[in-house]
Amino acid sequence: MSPSVRPFAALNSPSEAPSVDEAPILHIDLDAFFASVEILDDPSLAGRPVAVGGGGDRGVVASASYEARRFGVRSAMPSVVARRLCPDLIMLPGRFDRYEAYSREFHRVVQDLTPDFEPLGLDEVFADLRSLRRLQVRPVAASVALRERITNELGLQCGVGLGRNKLFAKLASKRSKPLVVDGQLVAGPGVVWVSPALEARWLEELPVRALWGVGPATAAKLEKLGLNWVRDLARVDEATLAGHVGSAMAATLVAYSHGEDRREVVVDRRAKSLGHDQTFARSLQGLGEVVEAARSHAAVVARALRGHDRVARTISVVVRFDDLTSVSRSQTLSFGVDDEVAIAAIAEALLGSIEIHHAVRLLGIHASSFLERSQNQMQLTFGLDPASLDPREHAVLVSHDRQISHEALRDAVDEVRQRFGRAAVGTAGELRESGLDIETQRGRHAFGPETGHGGS
DNA sequence: TCTGGGGTCCTAGGACCC
DNA sequence: TCTGGGGTCCTAGGACCC
C-alpha cells in the first residue's frame, strides 16, 4: 500500500512552495545510473533492456534500465534470474571509470547549488540547504533547476526529494521516481516535498521495510513481533525492542517512527576502510590457490591506499566458501602499511590460520585504521620513549624511509602466527612447499616462518 | 532465483589499564 | 580470599546501503 499523499503537485503555486526552513534537506538520486551511462555512451542501446553487472553464473545486477525493469529485472538480482525474466537482456560488465567521471560532473552541478552536500555512493547526494536561507533560495525551484541542469549537461534523469530531515528527503526522492506498474512505465513527479503537516500521514502508511537500516533480517524480526508498519513502531516499548534488534537499532527505529532523524549532512566524509573482494567464476581449491589470489588482491589494495595517500594499521582477510559461510581474520599493527609486499605478507599469515575446508568462492582483503601517510613515522614516535621499544621496531622509527622495515614487518607476521598457534606456522610451511613463498614476488623480502630475511 | 563489490555501522567478548 | 567499575582497543561476525 502506498501513502495517500499527493506528490508535490503545486510547483507553480508560490503559496505552497516551502521555505528552506520547511524543507532544509534535499536528496537527489540519479535514475538507473550505470545503465543510463552505458546508453549515453552507446545510443544504439536506447530503448532496449540493459543491465550492468556480473554476467556469469555468480553475477548480480548492479543497475537496470527502465526498459529492463519492465520485465522485472532489479538491482541485486542474480544475473541468472534476470536473463530468465528478460531473455533479450543486454548484460554489460560495468565501466566504473566512466561512472566515476559522470559522478564527478553530478557533484559539480550540486556544488553550484551548495557546498554542503554528502555523496552516497556514486549516484546519490544529500544536501543541507540551510546556508542558502539568506539568499532567498526556494527549495522546490532549486530542485527543479537542479534536475534541468543534470538533464541538460549530463543527459541523465533524476528524482529529488525534500523534507525536514534525511528520513523524509529520502522517502520523498523515492516517490519522485518513475515507476513500473503492470509492466508499463509511469513517469514520476520528479520533485517531491514532504511537508511537515503531512509527515505523520506518510509514516502512517509505510511498511517497516521502507525505513533506512531495515533489511530482510530486521524486517523478519519485526514481523515476528507483530511490527509490520512504521505506525506499529511508534507504540512499541524501546527497551523491549532493544532486546530483539539491539539498542542502537531500537532507538533509531523508534525515532524514525516519530519522524525524528538526527543524522546530519556530513560534508567531508573520509573513507574509514578500503578493500578488494572478488568472487571467482571457478572456486579456488586449497590454500595455495587462495594465497596466489591474495597477492594480486594485496596489490590492488596497496595501490588504492597510495592513491588516497593513506597507510593502514589493520589488514583483514575474508574467505567465503562454496557453502556461503564466511570467515574473517584481522591484525592490527603498531605501524601503517601501504606496500603490496607488506600487505600480502600479513594477509598470507592470516589466511594460514584459516582452515580451508571447502572450495573458496570469494576472497577479500581490506585495510582500515588509517593514518595519514605523512604521519606514519611521527605517529609512532610521538609520546614514546624509543628506548622502551623493541630494538627492531626502533629501527623503523629512526629510519626516515617510507618503507616499513623488513624486521618490523617480519615481527608482525610472527605475531599473527603466534596468535593462532602452531597450525598457522604449519600452514605457512605448506606455502613454501607449494612454491608460493613471498620472496618470489620481489626478491628482497622473505617472510617465511624460520628463514628470517632471506631474499636474493 | 540464489545471491557482487564498494563501503558503513553495530555488537559482544576479551585484554588491558587505571 | 575474592573481587570494583569505567574506558579503550582489538577481533569476529552480522546487517545494511548503493
Distance A325 CA to B4 C1' (A): 16
Question: Which nucleotide minimizes the distance between its C1' and the CA of A214?
Answer: C16
> What pLDDT, on a 0 to 100 scale, did the predictor assign at position A13?
45
H or E segment and range at residue A316: strand A310-321
Measured distance CA(A129)–CA(A146) in Å, rounded: 13
Q: Is the CB of A135 under 7 A from strand B?
A: no
How many whole angstroms separate alpha carbon A126 and alpha carbon A104?
15
Nucleotide nearest to A326 (CA to C1'): C13
Strand B positions closer than 7 A to protein CB: 1-12
Report the Cα A125 to chain-centroid distance in Å. 14
Over residues A94-121, the mean pLDDT reads: 97
Pick the CATH number of A273-436 from 3.30.1490.100, 2.60.40.10, 1.10.3720.10, 3.30.365.10: 3.30.1490.100
Is the pLDDT at A452 greater than 50? The verdict is no
**Residue A403: per-residue pLDDT:** 54
Q: Is the CB of A72 under 7 A from strand B?
A: no
Which grid coordinates are listed for A156?
Answer: 541523465
Q: Where are the domains of chain A?
A: 17-194, 196-269, 273-436
CB A193 within 8 A of CB A23: yes
Mean pLDDT within A187-216: 96
Q: Answer yes or no: is A55 CB < 7 A from strand B.
A: no
A279 CB less than 7 Å from any atom of strand B:
yes
- Is the CB of residue A170 inside 7 Å of nucleic acid strand B? no
Give me the active site residues of A, please.
Answer: 124
The pLDDT tens digits for A10-63 are 343 445 699 999 999 999 999 999 999 999 999 999 999 999 999 889 999 999
Q: From the CA of A449, how many Å to the C1' of B4?
A: 35
Instruction: Supply the pLDDT for residue A307.
Output: 94
List chain C nucleotides near protein: any atom < 7 Å from a Cβ. Answer: 9-18
Tell me what the mean pLDDT of segment A288-316 comes to: 97
Say what the pLDDT of residue A148 is: 98
**CATH architecture of residue range(s) A196-269:** Orthogonal Bundle (1.10)
- How many C-alpha atoms does A276 have within 13 Å on its Cβ side? 18
What mean pLDDT, rounded, does chain A reach? 87
Using CA atoms, how far residue A41 sits from A82, A97, A154, A178, A413, in Å, is 23, 13, 11, 22, 47
Q: How confident is the model at residue A377 (pLDDT cuts 50, 70, 90)?
A: low
Contact status, residue A105 vs residue A153, Cβ threshold 8 Å: yes
Each residue's pLDDT tens digit, A388-399 = 555 444 444 444
Predicted local confidence at residue A404, as pLDDT: 63
Smallest CA–C1' separation from A420, nucleotide: C11
Q: Which residue spans within A143-230 are E strands per DSSP?
A: 158-163, 179-181, 184-186, 191-193
The footprint of strand C (CB < 7 Å) covers A 76, 120-124, 170, 211-219, 313-314, 316, 326-332, 369
Q: Give me the sign of the Cα torsion angle A219, A26, A117, A69.
A: positive
A238 Cβ nearer than 7 Å to chain B strand: no
Beta carbons within 10 angstroms of residue A29's beta carbon: 19
- Measuring alpha carbon to C1', the residue closest to nucleotide C18 is A121
Express each pLDDT in A341-372 by its tens digit.
999 999 999 999 999 999 999 999 999 999 98
Range A392-400, long-range pairs (CB < 8 A, 24+ positions):
A393/A334, A393/A335, A396/A335
Q: Which of A6, A63, A10 minimizes the C-alpha distance to A39?
A: A63
Which residue approaches B3 most closely, CA to C1'? A78
**From the alpha carbon of A278, which nucleotide's C1' atom is closest?**
B5
Q: Tens of pLDDT along A115-161?
A: 999 999 999 999 999 999 999 999 999 999 999 999 999 999 999 99
Q: Where are the beta strands (DSSP E) in A158-250?
A: 158-163, 179-181, 184-186, 191-193
Name the pLDDT band for A196 (thresholds 50, 70, 90).
Answer: very high
Asked if residue A446 has pLDDT above 70, the reply is no
CATH, domain range A17-194: 3.30.70.270
Question: What is the distance in angstroms measured between the alpha-carbon CA of A305 and the sugar C1' of B7?
Answer: 15
What one-letter code names the amino acid at A155? Answer: G
Alpha carbon of residue A229 to chain centroid: 27
The separation, in Å, between residue A434 CA and nucleotide C14 C1' comes to: 34
Half-sphere exposure of A43 (CA within 13 A, CB side): 1
Contact residues for A21 (Cβ-Cβ < 8 A; gap 6+): A130, A133
Per-residue model confidence (pLDDT) at position A68: 97
The pTM of the full predicted model, rounded to 2 decimals, is 0.86
